[in-house]
């Protein structure tokens, strides 16, 4: 691995997918007791002797996944697809929900003075949004449909707007989530009712937008939403699949094939932290409305309980390992 | 054609060709390197960077002479790279693995490999974005201060050694380096099957570019040069048509004659000459919406007809070495789509390196690619 910096882990956020770890399918994993946490920021305390880009006192956003640097994926710039990727809190690797943590210096990104450590923790999900929009080839002037207004749908919305989308629409089952999306600047919202058919959903999207979206970013993983994305997207457009759901999906592929609607998967991010940080620094993206709850590290159990149950309608829950932070 | 292994860690003879000054090339012994399996500094100039390297020790088999090697010998520098201390020369090479570091997984002793000579730092944004050839801390064989690989033994990063299929010779392995330049140039040109290619210059780089263009599926390739015998070679090696450049002829006449010879305007023009006239012609003759790729290097400042390229949207792209191009180069030769064997015209043992470079300098015998063989068991077979 490259030269290390040692950020003192100040904040970490809880991401819903961590809850899957609580399903003890792997006995080895439970015996090992892995550390959780991968959406984090910290303050550099100490640097390895070869580190030249960071110094003690620097506040950084931590990109949690480091590739092997030597395989053809890494050398082609797609290190996120490296088969030997070491990713925080992806078994068997420890995460960074701890007071002190060591990481490769080139995967720690200095935060500008006007970006707080709290916003720094959200650079990770924002990077997912940035990467999704890059995969979907979001350009200035695009009309963008986002399915799902959970945290990932919301950061994808923020990234799409920052990257030039001039008309955006977001869908969800839950009205409260759509309200949050409105607060973040989405142009149109569509509340999905349980009895709405796909045809109706596609039709309503078209009515609201007065045209078909150039790009759809699917952030739920729900089969019906993926189907809607394929049917609603403009001919020649792109559907980016961010959400993860069932392994096998039944999809109206012929429609997409004949209309040359490209389908592109999205997995994490690569080389996206600088753009994400720049978006926050310049004010193009405001992450603060996404932070709803705070816990000390001693109360991590409570934090995860809230994330699991949805009690209190959390969006992003921050856990603070630094004992000097008062929450 | 296939040399056998002789020794590995026990061998003390690591005769190496060392550039000691202008026109001062000497054969000296160097220690046989040990393949590292721990961190090392990749760039002595900037010891701030160090990365994991898993190395293999190679017995060197074929090392080709490149124009840049000759340039360093004759001028002592290329641009900002100045030879200030003795430096082993050579970077177009192939070898046999004789020893591997502890953690090496993809290679084993006996494997025959083509050696990609430039390793980036692996940590900067260029490296992480896949453009490691542009890494500011790039360590490239025989670009000062990094030693080259014209020696009996050489240690290199495992992932920059590419296994050769059994039916490829070591000479072909060494030719992967210039062929990779050609592959990279064609990528920059976004060159596709069925397109028409113009190559300016029929030196070694022009020739491999023509071969690679045909391999990708060019419907026609025209090669230009000032010299008749080079054009004849280009034709022998597969160019569909050739054109002799003349310094005194008006440019517009040359442009017209090239179009007539090709039957149309080229989609892409790759300049492998570095000559101002060739570059000027490239900009004028390339099809509207096409690409001009500048591979050859010449003067720092050039007077060029840019306006026409601008409003015809003829893109201009530079080329510097290659990145992730060795696999395709090897495929081209292994599949039979590109035959690079005829490019090798001269062979020398490493002991005769000075003679080899003299031949390169004087061009006696019209060399195309001169191969030097550091393996003491190498024998020239016809």
CATH for A110: 3.90.180.10
Q: Which of B48, B131, B323 sits opposite A50 (nearest CB)?
A: B48
Amino acid A19: pLDDT: 33
| CB-based contact, B107 to chain A, within 8 Å | no
| CB-based contact, B14 to chain A, within 8 Å | no
pTM value is: 0.88
Helix (H), strand (E) counts: chain B: 11, 22
Task: Give the CATH number, domain containing residue A236.
Answer: 3.40.50.720
pLDDT tens, position by position, A67-98: 999 999 999 999 999 999 999 988 888 888 98
Do A193 and A240 have their domain in common?
Answer: yes
Q: Taking CB atoms and an 8 Å limit, are A50 and B131 in contact across chains?
A: no
In chain B, whose CA is at the least distance from the CA of A49?
Answer: B48
Q: Which helix (H) or strand (E) segment is A124 a member of?
A: helix A123-135
> What are chain B's domains?
15-175+340-381 (3.90.180.10), 183-318 (3.40.50.720)
Do A94 and A143 have their domain in common?
Answer: no
Q: Which of A69, A78, A274 sits opposite B51 (nearest CB)?
A: A69
Contact B153, B11 (CB under 8 A): yes
Do A153 and A114 have their domain in common?
Answer: no
**Among A266, A304, A285, A308, CA closest to A154:** A285
Residue A233 has pLDDT above 90, yes or no: yes
- Per the domain annotation, does A73 fall within a domain? yes
- Per the domain annotation, does A273 fall within a domain? no
Do A156 and A251 have their domain in common?
Answer: yes
Alpha-carbon distance of B65 to B332, in angstroms, equals 22
Contact A95, A35 (CB under 8 A): yes
**Among A54, A142, A145, A152, CA closest to A103:** A54
Q: Taking CB atoms and an 8 Å limit, are A71 and B54 in contact across chains?
A: no
pLDDT tens, position by position, A143-164: 999 999 999 999 999 999 999 9
**How large a percentage of chain A has pLDDT more than 70?**
89
Do A132 and A244 have their domain in common?
Answer: yes
Q: What is the mean pLDDT of chain A?
A: 90
The CB density around residue B228, as the number of other CB atoms within 10 Å, is 10
Q: Taking CB atoms and an 8 Å limit, are B324 and A76 in contact across chains?
A: yes
Do A210 and A309 have their domain in common?
Answer: no
Residues of A in contact with B48 (CB under 8 A): 50-52
The CB density around residue B143, as the number of other CB atoms within 10 Å, is 20
Start-to-end Cα distance in chain A: 35
In chain B, whose CA is at the least distance from the CA of A76?
Answer: B130
Q: Which domain holds residue A199?
A: 128-265
Do A142 and A67 have their domain in common?
Answer: no
- Per the domain annotation, does A64 fall within a domain? yes
Q: What is the DSSP string of A142-166?
A: -EEEEE--SHHHHHHHHHHHHTT-S
Q: Which of B48, B128, B159 sits opposite A77 (nearest CB)?
A: B128
Q: Taking CB atoms and an 8 Å limit, are B48 and A51 in contact across chains?
A: yes
Q: Taking CB atoms and an 8 Å limit, are A3 and B50 in contact across chains?
A: yes
- Per the domain annotation, does A270 fall within a domain? no
Q: Which of A1, A51, A271 sits opposite B128 (nearest CB)?
A: A271
| CB-based contact, B124 to chain A, within 8 Å | yes
Q: How far is CA B328 from CA A119, B84, B335, in A?
A: 44, 36, 10
Contact A235, A210 (CB under 8 A): no
Find the Cα–Cα–Cα–Cα dihedral A220, A224, A226, A229, rounded to 10°: -110
Mutation target for B interface from A106, A268, A271: give the one with most B CBs within 10 A: A106
- Per the domain annotation, does A281 fall within a domain? no
3-state secondary structure of B218: coil
Q: Which tokens hold the place of B155?
A: 């240690």
pLDDT tens, position by position, A274-324: 999 999 999 999 999 999 999 999 999 999 999 999 999 999 999 999 888
Residue A207 makes CB contacts below 8 A (sequence gap 6+) with: none
- Per the domain annotation, does A276 fall within a domain? no
| CB-based contact, A2 to chain B, within 8 Å | yes
| CB-based contact, A83 to chain B, within 8 Å | no
Alpha-carbon distance of A5 to A55, in angstroms, equals 8
Query: For residue B291, what are the β-bridge partners?
Result: B268, B315
Do A133 and A112 have their domain in common?
Answer: no
Do A17 and A118 have their domain in common?
Answer: yes
pLDDT band at A29 (very low <50, low <70, confident <90, very high): very low
pLDDT band at B54 (very low <50, low <70, confident <90, very high): confident
Do A70 and A175 have their domain in common?
Answer: no
* Counted domains in chain A: 2
Q: Taking CB atoms and an 8 Å limit, are B52 and A69 in contact across chains?
A: yes
Amino acid A4: pLDDT: 62
Q: Taking CB atoms and an 8 Å limit, are A1 and B52 in contact across chains?
A: yes
Domain final residue pick, A265, A299, A316: A265
- Biggest alpha carbon–alpha carbon distance for chain B: 64
Whether the ipTM is more than 0.85: the answer is no
Q: Taking CB atoms and an 8 Å limit, are B324 and A271 in contact across chains?
A: no
Find the Cα–Cα–Cα–Cα dihedral A151, A115, A321, A183, rounded to 10°: -30
Helix (H), strand (E) counts: chain A: 11, 15
Alpha-carbon distance of B302 to B67, in angstroms, equals 21
In chain A, whose CA is at the least distance from the CA of B41?
Answer: A50
- Per the domain annotation, does A27 fall within a domain? yes
pLDDT band at B98 (very low <50, low <70, confident <90, very high): very high
Residues of A in contact with B159 (CB under 8 A): 70-71, 75
Q: Taking CB atoms and an 8 Å limit, are A52 and B48 in contact across chains?
A: yes
Q: Taking CB atoms and an 8 Å limit, are B129 and A77 in contact across chains?
A: yes
- What is the pLDDT averaged over residues B176-199? 98
Interface list for A 259-288 with B (CB within 8 A): 270-271, 274
Phi, psi values for residue B162, rounded to 5°? -110, 120
Q: Which tokens hold the place of A77?
A: 């710039």
Mutation target for A interface from B41, B105, B123: give the one with most A CBs within 10 A: B123
Q: Taking CB atoms and an 8 Å limit, are A77 and B124 in contact across chains?
A: no
Residues of A in contact with B52 (CB under 8 A): 1-2, 69-70
Amino acid A5: pLDDT: 65
| CB-based contact, B159 to chain A, within 8 Å | yes
| CB-based contact, A1 to chain B, within 8 Å | yes
How far does A76 lie from chain B, in Å, by closest CA?
A: 4
Alpha-carbon distance of A116 to A61, in angstroms, equals 10
Do A98 and A133 have their domain in common?
Answer: no
Start-end of H helices in chain B: 67-75, 125-128, 170-174, 176-188, 204-216, 228-237, 251-262, 276-285, 306-311, 326-334, 353-362
- Low-confidence winner among A23-32, A219-228, B308-317 (lowest mean pLDDT): A23-32
| CB-based contact, B31 to chain A, within 8 Å | no
Do A248 and A291 have their domain in common?
Answer: no
- Per the domain annotation, does A279 fall within a domain? no
Residue B2 has pLDDT above 80, yes or no: no
Contact B366, B345 (CB under 8 A): yes
């Amino acid at each position: 691995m490259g030269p290390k910096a040692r950020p003192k882990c100040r904040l970490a956020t809880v991401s819903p997918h961590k809850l899957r770890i609580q399903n003890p399918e792997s006995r080895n994993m439970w015996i090992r007791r892995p550390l959780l946490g991968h959406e984090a920021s910290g303050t550099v305390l100490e640097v390895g002797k070869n580190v030249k880009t960071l110094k003690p006192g620097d506040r950084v956003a931590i990109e949690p996944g480091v590739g092997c640097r030597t395989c053809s994926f890494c050398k082609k710039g797609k290190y996120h697809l490296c088969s030997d990727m070491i990713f925080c809190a992806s078994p068997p690797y420890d995460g960074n929900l701890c007071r002190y943590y060591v990481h490769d210096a080139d995967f720690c990104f200095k935060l500008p003075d006007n970006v707080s450590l709290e916003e720094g923790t959200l650079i990770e999900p924002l990077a997912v949004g940035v990467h999704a929009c890059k995969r979907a080839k979001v350009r200035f002037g695009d009309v963008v449909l986002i399915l799902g207004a959970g945290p990932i749908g919301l950061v994808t919305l923020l990234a799409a707007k920052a990257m030039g989308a001039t008309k955006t629409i977001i869908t969800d089952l839950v009205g409260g989530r759509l309200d949050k999306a409105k607060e973040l600047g989405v142009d149109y919202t569509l509340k999905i009712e349980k009895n709405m058919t796909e045809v109706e959903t596609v039709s309503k999207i078209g009515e609201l937008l007065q045209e078909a979206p150039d790009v759809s970013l699917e952030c739920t993983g729900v089969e019906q939403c993926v189907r809607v994305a394929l049917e609603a997207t403009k001919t020649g457009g792109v559907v980016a699949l961010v959400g993860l759901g069932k392994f096998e999906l039944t999809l109206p592929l012929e429609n997409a094939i004949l209309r040359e609607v490209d389908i592109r998967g999205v997995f994490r991010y690569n080389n996206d932290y600088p753009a994400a940080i720049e978006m926050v620094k310049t004010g193009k993206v405001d992450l603060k409305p996404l932070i709803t709850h705070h816990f000390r590290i001693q109360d991590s159990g409570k934090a995860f309980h809230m994330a699991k149950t949805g009690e209190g309608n959390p969006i992003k829950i921050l856990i603070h390992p630094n004992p000097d932070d008062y929450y | 054609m296939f040399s056998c292994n002789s020794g590995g860690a026990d061998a003390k003879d690591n005769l190496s060709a060392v550039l000691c000054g202008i026109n001062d090339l000497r054969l000296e012994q160097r220690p046989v390197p040990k393949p590292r399996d721990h961190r090392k500094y990749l760039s002595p100039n900037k010891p701030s960077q160090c990365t994991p390297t898993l190395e293999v020790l190679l017995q060197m088999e074929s090392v080709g002479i490149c124009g840049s090697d000759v340039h360093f010998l004759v001028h002592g520098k290329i641009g900002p790279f100045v030879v200030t201390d003795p430096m082993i020369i050579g970077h177009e090479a192939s070898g046999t693995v004789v020893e591997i570091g502890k953690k090496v997984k993809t290679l084993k002793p006996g494997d025959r490999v083509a050696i990609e000579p430039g390793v980036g730092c692996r940590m900067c944004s260029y490296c992480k974005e896949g453009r490691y050839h542009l890494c500011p801390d790039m360590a490239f064989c025989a670009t000062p201060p990094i030693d080259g690989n014209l020696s009996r033994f050489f240690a290199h990063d495992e992932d920059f050694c590419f296994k050769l299929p059994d039916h490829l010779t070591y000479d072909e392995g060494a030719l992967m380096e210039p062929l990779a330049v050609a592959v990279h140039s064609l990528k920059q040109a976004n060159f596709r099957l069925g397109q028409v290619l113009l190559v300016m210059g029929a030196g070694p780089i022009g020739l491999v570019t023509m071969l690679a263009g045909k391999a990708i599926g060019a419907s026609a390739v025209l090669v230009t040069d000032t010299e008749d015998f080079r054009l004849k070679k280009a034709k022998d090696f597969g160019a569909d048509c050739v054109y002799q450049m003349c310094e005194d002829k008006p440019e517009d006449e040359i442009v017209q004659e090239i179009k007539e010879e090709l039957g149309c305007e080229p989609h892409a023009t790759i300049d492998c000459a570095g000559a101002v006239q060739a570059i000027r012609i490239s900009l004028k003759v390339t099809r509207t919406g096409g690409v001009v790729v500048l591979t050859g290097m010449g003067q720092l400042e050039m007077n060029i007809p840019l306006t026409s390229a601008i409003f015809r949207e003829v893109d201009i792209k530079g080329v510097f070495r290659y990145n992730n191009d060795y696999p395709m180069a090897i495929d081209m030769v292994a599949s039979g789509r590109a035959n690079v064997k005829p490019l090798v015209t001269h062979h020398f043992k490493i002991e005769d390196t000075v003679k080899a470079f003299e031949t390169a300098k004087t061009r006696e015998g019209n060399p195309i690619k001169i191969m030097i063989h550091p393996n003491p068991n190498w024998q020239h077979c016809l």
